[in-house]
């Protein structure tokens, strides 16, 4: 393909060079490229080879990627010779590098003459970089792509950065000191790699860590960690020696008799036939399934079927080994307990006994011992998975690592293509609203108009019409036609207005239509509200002032005659009709539970992880709730009974429920409303209705509630905030 010239732009133009783009085996490369583009950076992709196994979901990226080794060698030489006259002194600089490198490698070695061919490819690349107006060159993998890239940088005078991984420095290392010296920065995926590169003499000031950031959104449901009669364990990777699948198969035979385990092996590679034969030899053919290669989009659903994920990495016969496998990050981001080995940079991700378990490499007995522990102890699996999800988000998340990459590359992006009300300095204030609604024609115009009038409008507003039968669809169509940042998702008519879990099902119909990583904040917003003009701007200011604040809102008021009356929500909760979240925290808690009391469970889960939830009764944050709290489709008393059931489901004890009902006895409807709440709890208990299937959460909730009864809610909240923050390693 041809790379077209472009008009001058204020945005940085970064050339992205990798071995194969977009490749199924290196999705982190093109995911990073696309994330940079969402930050306002123009990326021009180049690939050394055409991918042998392309990422089929990235056809658009494949179409615009220029492949350097795509034709006969003769053609490549002619293209290079045609490019040489365009660079003057750059040609001399690049040629001097080549001669020096060939002497270092030794001219009688084939590798030295390969450098000559790569130098010719670099001349062609340099001309393409010049035509595309590139301002920076970023290279993934420190072997062949960097050899081509550094010579192209010498031709053009462009600064370049290198991202080193594993095989490219452990097995195929060549001219690493020269590459580091010439590069603006040599980045790598782990501190282990930094120590290794320093041991080779590379200068410390040229080295920095940038992780291959995971971009998978956190799973919406909360997995079960209970004991079960049969467990499903999975591994995923190319079927080569360094992945240790043979060790995992042998470990399966060492598990305690009676432990029922099904092993799912996803991936393909040269050892598949050999591993299938080993499976039959070990008598595991009825317990092991070879899934074949998975497309990137299929990985998340597959991970959700697992009780544990195992990656038995080891060093192969040639000395090659993994760095920090991205698939481990992906499993941890989906709250799947993980087991791996003490190798390379893996312990930086899988911290033994904290975010997962580690075995010795190439040791089936050690692997079996740790896998048995993981399967035998539900509380251990839950503790590790919860901590792992937080660790991945904080250290290995895509957003934080794109920040690091841009800093080291010296990139200052222009404002991304966002809503016009967003200023160039508001890139960290991109928020998305998601509004489930059904038959809201009586109220929704006030909400729509007050959002349109916000001092900082949303980057996107997804409104889910949950089968409305009134004028709602027509009103939505009217506003969507006027505002291109409003999107409408339509669901089938379920025949009734659904509250609680039904609302959350509709919310997720909207959530599934976005990539949450495109935004800094999200808000579940009802369409029966009237908002003050600076509502979202002020909430973001509060968030920026308190890094441990996960979710917040203003206070709801209802009209009673000519007066506005506070609905009296606690200060320690964000209100369900306007749940404003940091996207990262929303993903970390696992999103909203699709059950009644979802809007209480989420705030308590934030506290459980060391964060806080707040609502403020400030004049500029007061909004009008046009439908009173608890006024369900069959009446206010039914709403109060539903609240009692919700408290029972969440895990609230009877003593705390009784105290809560007595506290609210004077709220309208006086006495009767409190009695209905208490009866909702008692009726649920008498009928033996199920409770929220998260024992650790229920224990945390009970501990907090008893403390609140003993020392008061304010002190209990302060103590819990301090204790959970220390446990999570958060700053006070």
DSSP secondary structure, 233-301, as one string? EEEES-SSGGG-HHHHHHHHTTSPTT--EEEEEEB--TTHHHHHHHHHHTT-TTTEEEEE---HHHHHH
* pLDDT tens-digit readout, 121-161: 999 999 999 999 999 999 999 999 999 999 999 999 999 99
Lowest mean pLDDT among 2-11, 570-579, 709-718: 2-11
pLDDT band at 628, cuts 50/70/90?
low
Give, to the nearest 10 degrees, the angle between helix 89-105 and helix 110-132. Answer: 160
Sheet holding 431-437, edge to edge: 486-491, 460-466, 431-437, 521-525, 578-582, 549-553, 612-615
Supply the pLDDT for residue 62: 87
Q: How confident is the model at residue 291 (pLDDT cuts 50, 70, 90)?
A: very high
308/420 Cα distance (integer angstroms): 45
**Whether pLDDT at 326 is above 60:** yes
Cα 428 to Cα 425: distance, rounded to the nearest angstrom: 8
Q: Are 139 and 160 in contact (CB under 8 A)?
A: yes
- Predicted local distance difference test score (pLDDT) of residue 644: 86
What value does the mean pLDDT take over residues 279-289? 96
| Average pLDDT over every residue of 557-562 | 81
- Identify the CA nearest to 451 among candidates 433, 464, 468, 424: 433
Query: Rg of the chain's alpha carbons, rounded to an integer?
Result: 29
Cα(692)–Cα(83) distance, rounded to whole angstroms? Answer: 67
pLDDT band, very low/low/confident/very high, at 426 (cuts 50, 70, 90) = very low
Q: How many CB atoms lie under 10 A from the CB of residue 293?
A: 15
How far apart (Å, rounded) are the C-alpha atoms in residues 387 and 336? 11
pLDDT at 397 over 90: no
Does the structure show a pLDDT above 60 at 417?
Answer: no
Does the pLDDT of residue 346 top 60, yes or no? yes
- Tokens representing 699 are 């224990």
Dist. CA 201–CA 435, nearest whole Å: 56
Which H or E element spans position 162? strand 160-164
The answer on pLDDT for 422 being more than 50 is no
- Three-class SS state of 141: coil
State percent of the chain over pLDDT 70.
93
Order of strands across the sheet that contains 529-530: 529-530, 622-625, 555-560, 563-566
Q: What does the block give as tokens for 671?
A: 């006495």
Alpha carbons 626 and 171: distance in angstroms, whole number: 66
Q: How many Å apart are CA 159 and CA 138, to the nearest integer? A: 9
Tell me if residue 164 falls in helix, strand or coil: strand
**545: CB partners within 8 A, 6+ apart:** none
Question: Is residue 558 predicted with pLDDT exceeding 90?
Answer: no
Helix (H, G, I), strand (E, B) or coil at 706: helix
- Region class of 509: left (phi > 0), else alpha (psi between -120 and 50), else beta: alpha
Chain-centroid distance, C-alpha 623: 32
- Phi then psi dihedrals of residue 606, to 5 deg: -60, -45
Look-up: residue for tokens 């029922």?
Answer: 260
Judge whether residue 409 has pLDDT over 60: yes
> Phi, psi (5° rounding) for residue 43?
-110, 135
In this structure, of 226-235, 307-316, 681-690, the range with the lowest mean pLDDT score is: 681-690
Q: Are 323 and 142 in contact (CB under 8 A)?
A: no
Q: How far apart are the first and last CA of the chain?
A: 54
- CA neighbor of 507 nearest in space, from 615, 447, 432: 432
Q: pLDDT-derived band of residue 428, with 50, 70 and 90 as boundaries?
A: low
Six-digit token pair at 391?
């660790």
Strand 460-466, strand 431-437: pairing: parallel
Sequence-distant (≥ 6) Cβ neighbours of residue 659 within 8 angstroms: 709
pLDDT at 594: 85
Between helix 110-132 and helix 73-83 the angle, nearest 10°, is: 60
Burial of 96 (0-12, 13-18, 19+ CB in 10 A): exposed
Per-residue pLDDT averaged across 334-342, rounded? Answer: 95
* Residue predicted with more confidence, 198 or 496: 198
Residues 6 or more apart whose CB falls under 8 angstroms from that of 150 comprise 97, 122, 139, 160, 178, 179, 182, 183
Mean pLDDT, range 301-329, rounded to an integer: 93
What's the confidence (pLDDT) of residue 494? 65
What is the predicted pLDDT for the residue at 415?
37
- Residue 218's pLDDT is 67
- Distance separating alpha carbons of residues 393 and 584, to the nearest angstrom: 7
Give me the pLDDT at residue 534, please: 85
Residue in the structure block whose two tokens are 């659903």 = 301
Nearest-CA neighbor of 175 among 246, 103, 125?
103
For residue 249, is pLDDT > 90? yes
What is the C-alpha separation between 242 and 315, in angstroms, rounded? 5
What residue has token string 């989420």? 602
pLDDT the model gives residue 2: 41
Q: What is the mean pLDDT of the chain?
A: 87
- The one-character DSSP state at 394 is I
pLDDT of 448-507, one tens digit each?
A: 988 888 878 899 999 999 988 989 999 999 888 888 899 999 988 765 555 567 889 999
28-49 burial, b at 16+ Cβ within 10 Å, e below that, comes to bbbbbbbbbbbbbbbbbbbbbb
Per DSSP bridges, beta strands 622-625 and 529-530 are antiparallel
Least confident of 336-340, 345-349, 451-455: 451-455
Question: Which is higher by pLDDT, 345 or 257?
Answer: 257
Give the other-Cβ count within 10 Å of 720's Cβ: 21
The predicted pLDDT at position 632 comes to 43
What token pair was written down for 540?
């973001």
Other C-beta atoms within 10 Å of 60: how many? 10
DSSP per position, 61-96: HHHHPEESS-S-HHHHHHHHHHHGGG-THHHHHHHH
Rounded average pLDDT over 615-633 = 74
Closest by CA position to 105, among listed 175, 24, 201 = 175
**CB 199: neighbour CB atoms within 10 A?**
8
- H or E stretch including 621? none
Please compute the mean of the pLDDT values over residues 78-82 and round it to a whole number: 80
- 137 three-class SS: strand
Selection from 621, 615, 552 nearest residue 580 by Cα: 552
DSSP letter for 396, please: I
Report, as an integer, the average pLDDT of 683-704.
89
**pLDDT over 50 at 424, yes or no:** no
Tokens of 701: 């909730």
Contact 432, 581 (CB under 8 A): no
56 pLDDT more than 60: yes
Residue 48 contacts residue 144 (beta carbons within 8 Å)? yes
pLDDT of residue 495: 58
Q: How many angstroms separate the Cα of 159 from the Cα of each of 3, 186, 372, 573, 620?
A: 20, 12, 51, 49, 48
Provide φ and ψ at 47, rounded to 5°.
-130, 135
Whether the upstream peptide bond of residue 459 has omega within 30° of 0, thus cis, is: no
User: Phi, psi at residue 634, to the nearest 5°?
Assistant: -120, 15
């Amino acid at each position: 393909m041809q790379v077209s010239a472009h008009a001058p732009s204020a945005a940085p133009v970064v050339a992205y060079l990798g071995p194969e783009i977009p490749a199924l085996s290196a999705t982190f490369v093109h995911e990073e490229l696309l994330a940079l583009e969402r930050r306002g950076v123009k990326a021009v992709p180049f690939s050394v080879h055409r991918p042998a196994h392309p990422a089929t979901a990235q056809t658009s990226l494949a179409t615009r990627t220029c492949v350097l080794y795509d034709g006969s060698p003769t053609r490549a030489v002619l293209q290079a010779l045609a490019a040489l006259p365009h660079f003057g002194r750059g040609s001399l600089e690049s040629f001097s590098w080549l001669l020096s490198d060939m002497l270092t490698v030794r001219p009688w070695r084939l590798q030295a003459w390969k450098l000559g061919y790569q130098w010719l490819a670099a001349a062609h690349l340099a001309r393409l970089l010049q035509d595309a107006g590139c301002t920076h060159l970023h290279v993934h993998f420190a072997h062949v792509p960097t050899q081509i890239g550094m010579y192209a940088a010498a031709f053009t005078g462009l600064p370049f950065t290198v991202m080193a991984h594993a095989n490219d420095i452990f097995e195929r290392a060549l001219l690493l000191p020269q590459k580091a010296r010439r590069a603006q920065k040599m980045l790598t995926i782990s501190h282990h790699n930094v120590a290794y590169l320093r041991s080779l003499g590379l200068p410390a000031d040229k080295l920095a860590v940038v992780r291959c950031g995971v971009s998978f959104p956190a799973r919406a449901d909360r997995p079960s960690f209970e004991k079960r009669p049969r467990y499903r364990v999975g591994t995923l990777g190319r079927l080569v020696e360094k992945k240790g699948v043979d060790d995992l198969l042998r470990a399966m035979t060492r598990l305690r008799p009676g432990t029922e385990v099904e092993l799912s092996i996803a991936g393909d590679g040269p050892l598949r036939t050999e591993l299938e034969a080993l499976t039959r030899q070990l008598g595991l053919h009825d317990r092991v399934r070879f899934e074949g290669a998975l497309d990137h989009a299929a990985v998340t659903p597959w991970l959700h079927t697992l009780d544990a994920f195992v990656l038995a990495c080891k060093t192969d016969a040639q000395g090659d080994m993994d760095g920090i496998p991205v698939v481990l990050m992906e499993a941890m981001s989906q709250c799947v307990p993980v087991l791996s080995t003490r190798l390379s940079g893996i312990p930086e991700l899988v911290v033994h006994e904290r975010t997962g378990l580690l075995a010795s490499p190439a040791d089936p007995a050690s692997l079996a011992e740790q896998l048995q522990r993981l399967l035998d102890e539900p509380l251990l699996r839950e503790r590790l998975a919860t901590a792992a999800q937080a660790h991945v988000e904080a250290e290995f998340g895509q957003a934080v690592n794109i920040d690091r990459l841009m800093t080291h590359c010296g990139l200052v992006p222009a404002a991304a293509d966002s809503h016009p009300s967003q200023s160039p300095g508001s890139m960290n204030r991109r928020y998305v609203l998601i509004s489930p609604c059904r038959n809201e024609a009586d109220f929704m115009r006030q909400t729509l108009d007050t959002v349109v009038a916000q001092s900082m409008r949303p980057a996107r507003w997804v409104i889910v019409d949950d089968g409305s039968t009134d004028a709602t669809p027509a009103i939505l169509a009217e506003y969507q036609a006027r505002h291109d940042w409003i999107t409408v998702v339509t669901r089938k008519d379920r025949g009734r207005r659904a509250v609680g879990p039904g609302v959350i099902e509709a919310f997720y119909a909207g959530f599934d239509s976005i990539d949450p990583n495109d935004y800094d904040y999200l808000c579940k917003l009802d369409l029966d509200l009237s908002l003050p003009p600076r509502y979202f701007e002020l909430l973001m200011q509060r968030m920026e002032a308190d890094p441990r604040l996960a979710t917040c809102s203003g206070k709801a008021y209802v009209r009673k005659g000519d007066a506005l009356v506070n609905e009296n929500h606690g200060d320690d909760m964000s209100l369900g009709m306007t749940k404003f979240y940091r996207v990262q925290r929303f993903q970390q808690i696992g999103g909203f539970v699709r059950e009644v009391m979802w809007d209480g469970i989420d705030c308590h889960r934030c506290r459980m992880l060391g964060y806080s939830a707040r609502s403020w009764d400030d004049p500029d944050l007061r909004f009008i709730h046009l439908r009173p709290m608890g006024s369900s489709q069959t009446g206010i008393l039914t709403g109060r009974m539903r609240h009692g059931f919700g408290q029972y489901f969440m895990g609230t004890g009877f003593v705390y429920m009784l105290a809560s009902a007595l506290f609210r006895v004077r709220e309208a409807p006086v006495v009767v409303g409190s009695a209905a709440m208490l009866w909702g709890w008692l009726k649920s208990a008498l009928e033996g209705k199920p409770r929220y299937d998260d024992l650790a959460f229920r224990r945390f909730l009970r501990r907090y509630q008893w403390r609140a009864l003993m020392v008061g809610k304010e002190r209990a909240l302060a103590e819990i905030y301090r204790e959970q923050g220390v446990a999570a390693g958060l700053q006070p």
